Amino acid sequence: MSGGGSLGVGLPYQKFVSFALEETRLRSILTPHPSQEKFKFIKSNDDNTVFNALSFSAPKIRLLRNLTIEKKNAFQQTMTHLAYSRLLPFSTILMMHIPMQVLDFAAFSEPEYDLPIFCANVFTTPAQSIVVLDLNPLYDTTIHKDYKDKYYKKIMPLAQKYSEKMQLFPWGGKITSESLRFFSPIVIWTIFESTERNHHVLHLAFMDYYKVWLELMDQAIKENNKVTIARNREQQHKYLTWRAEKDLVMEFLFEGVNTLGTKSFLDYFPKYARDDGSVNKKRSMIGKSFETRPWDANGEFFGDAEA
């Protein structure tokens, strides 16, 4: 995927955020979320790094939050490895001596709804962009077929539009089965050259995916069963606990990890435990891996896996 000339840093990721906020306000009333105050304590030792953060809630939305990072005036270096199957840990980003931009945007429903989690993670250098764009399932779609059919059966053409049919976003490389449980059949996981054309297509994909999430939100029916609500809350907490273990900006990016539940990372993922009770940080690098998209056009998991 190429063409359009070198893009470099200076990507207008705020354009992505503005679109999402405007579209949300057409359907709901956004209220500033208390987590935004916590961002004031996030500091960088690098004067060339700029942060922007916003967070809101709405009648059906527990949290809609965004963090953008722009790092300028450093020597250029090609990014060739993703430390986790999303973005690099926040602390690592700050220490890297490369010009770059980061978009981390997410939307979580209230626990009374079992909506997928909207997720847009983009890491861009002058050479390439690393992207995860998804409606992360609240329940593992390889196990919960009813959940997959409920939310993804009708929107599978999205994945086809931007990957297989138009060949715009090829699969970005190996993802372990342990990380894959948090992805949906429509996930865009890709690495491409940083060009104006490619960035424009990414913007189109972001708009399409977010509009679909808002439509699902509009159609969502409030759950009254306390057991189901508690289960939804725990699944959000499980997702946040997984993500927070891979990063440091827990109080903003992973707001809710300390309030939605009390289970620890090892309570959810006991296979990561070392003999001394600590977390095995290398665990996500082992097990089965997927070098190509492991879902077919209908969203059925076929697991083209390698050891």
Q: Which domain holds residue 53?
A: 13-222
118 assigned to some structural domain: yes
191 assigned to some structural domain: yes
| Tens digit of each residue's pLDDT (9 = 90 or more) over 201-214 | 999 999 999 999 99
113 assigned to some structural domain: yes
Reading the block at residue 100, the tokens are 């770059």
pLDDT greater than 90 at residue 109: yes
Report CA-CA distances (Å) from 197 to 23, 105, 176: 24, 22, 30
5 assigned to some structural domain: no
* Pairing of β 128-136 and β 188-193: antiparallel
| Tens digit of each residue's pLDDT (9 = 90 or more) over 123-155 | 888 888 999 999 999 999 989 999 999 999 999
pLDDT greater than 60 at residue 108: yes
pLDDT of residue 133: 95
Where does the pLDDT of residue 53 fall: very low under 50, low under 70, confident under 90, or very high at 90 and above? Answer: confident
| Tens digit of each residue's pLDDT (9 = 90 or more) over 177-191 | 777 889 999 999 999
pLDDT greater than 80 at residue 238: yes
Axis crossing angle, helix 13-25 with helix 196-219, rounded to the nearest 10: 20
* Domains identified in the chain, total number: 1
Percentage of residues in the chain with pLDDT exceeding 70? Answer: 74
Reading the block at residue 40, the tokens are 């004031």
284 assigned to some structural domain: no
| Tens digit of each residue's pLDDT (9 = 90 or more) over 274-302 | 877 777 766 554 456 788 888 888 889 88
178 assigned to some structural domain: yes
Task: Calculate ∠ Cα 70-74-80, nearest 5°.
Answer: 80
Beta bridge partners of 135: 118
pLDDT of residue 82: 37
297 assigned to some structural domain: no
Closest alpha carbon to 138 in 210, 245, 230, 234: 234
Region 152-172: mean pLDDT is 82
Contacts (Cβ under 8 Å, ≥6 apart) of 291: 171, 173, 174, 304, 306
pLDDT of residue 76: 37
Q: Is 214 helix (H, G, I), strand (E, B) or coil?
A: helix
CATH of the domain at 71: 3.40.1500.20
303 assigned to some structural domain: no
